[in-house]
Amino acid sequence: MAKPNQINQTMREYHRYLGFFLAGIMAVYSISGIIMVFRNTDFLKNVVKVEKTVEPNLKAEQLNPILKMKVNVEKEENGTIYFKGGQYNSKTGELKAEKKELPYILGKMEHLHKATTSDPLFYLNLFFGVSLFFFVISSFWMFLPGTKIFKKGIYFALGGIVLTLIMLFV
């Protein structure tokens, strides 16, 4: 079995090099996380106009993938479907809509942040999540137990846990 000092040194090395390796992705997640706080506002979003002719006689649900947005019908009148941000003439197939999108690079960052199991990026999200958990655990091997800085670190960790619990349950 490895000596405690050797385990400390190994954990410190893994922590250091994994931190350097993940510096870019941590920057992306932090920026996209901050931007996602404002996702229900128009902050940084541009208006994109869509005008095209599609197949006539489509149902509202069939417009969702075409527009890459949720189409909630507000009213139907004379063969025209009106929805928030646009309209679709079911007789002619004429589709006009406005939607708000983040600039290209910010949209890509947000997509990476929100990747689900249906997206190949979810493997990166899993790797990143496991790596962050390793950072949590390995940070306790950065300083020797019994030292003043380690004890102070434990107090800060406890304070962070208490703050997290308060934010979760209040």
DSSP 7-20: HHHHHHHHHHHHHH
Q: 164 and 117, same structural domain? A: yes
Q: 151 and 76, same structural domain? A: no
Give the model's pLDDT for residue 31. Answer: 95
pLDDT tens digits along 98-127 = 999 999 999 999 999 999 999 999 999 999
Instruction: Band the pLDDT of 87: cuts 50, 70, 90.
Output: very high
Beta bridge partners of 76: 81
Domain with 153, as residue range(s), is 4-40+105-169
Q: 110 and 97, same structural domain? A: no
Is the model's pLDDT at 169 over the cut of 80? yes
In sequence order, what are the residues at sequence separation of 6 or more whose Cβ sits closer than 8 angstroms to the Cβ of residue 50? Answer: 67, 86, 95, 96, 97, 98, 99
Contact 142/15 with Cβ under 8 angstroms?
yes
Give the model's pLDDT for residue 1. Answer: 57
Q: 156 and 128, same structural domain? A: yes
pLDDT tens digits along 20-73 = 999 999 999 999 999 999 999 999 999 999 999 999 999 989 999 999 888 999
Q: 158 and 111, same structural domain? A: yes
Is the model's pLDDT at 2 over the cut of 70? no
Q: 80 and 64, same structural domain? A: yes
Domain boundary among 101, 118, 134: 101
Alpha-carbon gap, residue 164 to 154, rounded angstroms: 15
Q: 79 and 132, same structural domain? A: no
Q: What's the number of domains the chain is made of?
A: 2
Region 71-90: mean pLDDT is 93
Q: 85 and 54, same structural domain? A: yes
* DSSP code of residue 147: S
Give the model's pLDDT for residue 130. Answer: 95
pTM above 0.75, yes or no: no
Q: 33 and 117, same structural domain? A: yes
Q: 73 and 30, same structural domain? A: no
CB atoms within 10 A of CB 88: 27
Q: 112 and 36, same structural domain? A: yes
Alpha-carbon gap, residue 9 to 13, rounded angstroms: 6
Which residue, 56, 63, 125, is CA-closest to 93?
A: 56
Domain boundary among 76, 101, 126: 101
Q: 89 and 113, same structural domain? A: no
Strand ranges in the chain using DSSP code E only, listed in sequence order: 46-53, 73-77, 80-83, 86-89, 94-101
pLDDT tens digits along 120-165 = 999 999 999 999 999 999 998 888 888 999 999 999 999 999 999 9
Alpha-carbon gap, residue 90 to 78, rounded angstroms: 9
Domain boundary among 77, 101, 125: 101
